């Protein structure tokens, strides 16, 4: 499973690799705080123009922040990684690095992980994601107490939806981080122009994220009402099982995207497809 192998490898960075030290110590081309600042200005502008959306926006703030945490940080990593590879290619340093026995794909992976671990960016974004999950868990605890005192179909359905939402938040973060990296590596290897690489990497990652979130929204808006209408007065089990099945479908779709990106990158760099099973061992080389 592509998601599992890449996620495991991200938690075992190749800290002994000399290239990792160089990449992780270099400065980012853009500070992620600029992205959050621009988003804050946009939100303030929306609230000024449309003050009626303040309450709905406030209620959805934890979920929106969690999804934007994965997407905005992913855009930042895609921007920096793709630009760095394109810059190294334009300076003819990239080809020399790829001649080492580890191979081109390993060099690309070390560059990506090195950027990911720069200034503890990966750890900070992951902490934000876990903070959102803790808030949702508190809400779930309240629903669970209500179910124990007075179990109703509405509470059971609400608890199932919350658990499904927590799963989506965690799995979406995992797969968003890896998608941004693979997109950045692909784009960086397709152009020597730094500005073009950065623009196309951010655009491609943003397009993938938008398409996947739209697919999730369609699944929720089509399947949940249909099941709710048919089974609400018949049995509670379909109401309980529908959210996990939607999560499974969404994650399977993201898994297909990751597998396709990894296969394309492996083919582009003429790499062994089995390298994905050995990425975590780079930390011990």
Q: What is the pLDDT of residue 128?
A: 81
pLDDT tier, 181 (very low <50, low <70, confident <90, very high otherwise): very high
- Give the mean pLDDT of 22-47: 61
Q: What is the pLDDT of residue 50?
A: 62
pLDDT tier, 92 (very low <50, low <70, confident <90, very high otherwise): confident
Q: Which of 40-49, 181-190, 257-266 has the lowest mean pLDDT?
A: 40-49
pLDDT tens, 122-176? 888 888 888 888 888 887 777 777 777 776 666 777 777 888 888 888 999 999 9
pLDDT tens, 41-71? 665 666 666 666 655 655 566 667 777 788 8
Q: Identify the domain containing residue 237 by its residue range.
A: 2-284
Q: What is the pLDDT of residue 156?
A: 73
pLDDT at 185 over 90: yes
pLDDT tens, 237-255? 666 777 888 888 899 999 9
Q: What is the pLDDT of residue 258?
A: 94
Q: What is the pLDDT of residue 68?
A: 78
Q: What is the pLDDT of residue 55?
A: 59
SS (H, E, C) the chain: CHHHHHHHHHCCCCCCCHHHHHHHHCCCCCCHHHHHHHHHHHHHHHHHHCHHHHHHHHHHHHHHHHHHHHHHHHHHHHHHHHHHHHHHHHCCCHHHHCCCCCCHHHHHHHHHHHHHCHHHHHHHHHHHHHHHHHHHHHHHHHHHHHHHHCCCHHHHHHHHHHHHHHHHHHHHHHHHHHHHHHHHHHHHCCCCCHHHHHHHHHHHHHHHHHHHHHHHHHHHHHHHHHHHHHHCCCCCHHHHHHHHHHHHHHHHHHHHHHHHHHHHHHHHCCCCHHHHHCHHHHHHC
Q: What is the pLDDT of residue 61?
A: 63
Domain count, the chain: 1
- Give the mean pLDDT of 92-113: 83
């Amino acid at each position: 499973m592509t998601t599992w192998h890449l996620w495991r490898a991200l938690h075992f960075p190749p800290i002994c690799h000399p290239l990792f030290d160089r990449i992780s110590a270099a400065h980012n081309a853009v500070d992620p705080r600029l992205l959050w600042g621009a988003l804050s200005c946009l939100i303030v502008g929306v609230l000024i123009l449309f003050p009626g959306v303040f309450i709905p926006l406030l209620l959805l703030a934890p979920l929106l922040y969690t999804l934007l945490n994965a997407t905005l940080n992913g855009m930042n990593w895609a921007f920096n990684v793709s630009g760095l590879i394109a810059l190294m290619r334009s300076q003819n340093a990239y080809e020399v690095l790829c001649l080492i026995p580890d191979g081109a794909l390993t060099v690309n992976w070390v560059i990506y992980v090195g950027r990911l671990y720069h200034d503890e960016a990966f750890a900070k974004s992951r902490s934000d994601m876990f903070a959102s999950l803790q808030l949702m868990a508190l809400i779930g605890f309240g629903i669970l107490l209500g179910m124990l005192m007075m179990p109703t179909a509405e509470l059971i359905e609400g608890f199932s939806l919350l658990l499904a939402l927590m799963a989506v938040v965690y799995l979406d973060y995992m797969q968003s981080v890896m998608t941004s990296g693979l997109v950045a590596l692909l784009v960086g290897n397709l152009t020597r122009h730094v500005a073009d690489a950065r623009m196309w990497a951010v655009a491609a990652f943003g397009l993938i994220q938008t398409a996947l979130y739209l697919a999730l929204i369609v699944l929720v808006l089509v399947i949940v009402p249909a099941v709710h209408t048919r089974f609400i007065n018949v049995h509670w089990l379909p109401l309980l099982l529908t959210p996990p099945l939607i999560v499974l479908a969404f994650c399977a779709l993201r898994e297909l995207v990751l597998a396709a990106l990894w296969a394309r990158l492996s083919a582009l760099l003429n790499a062994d497809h089995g390298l994905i099973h050995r990425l975590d061992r780079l930390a011990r080389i």
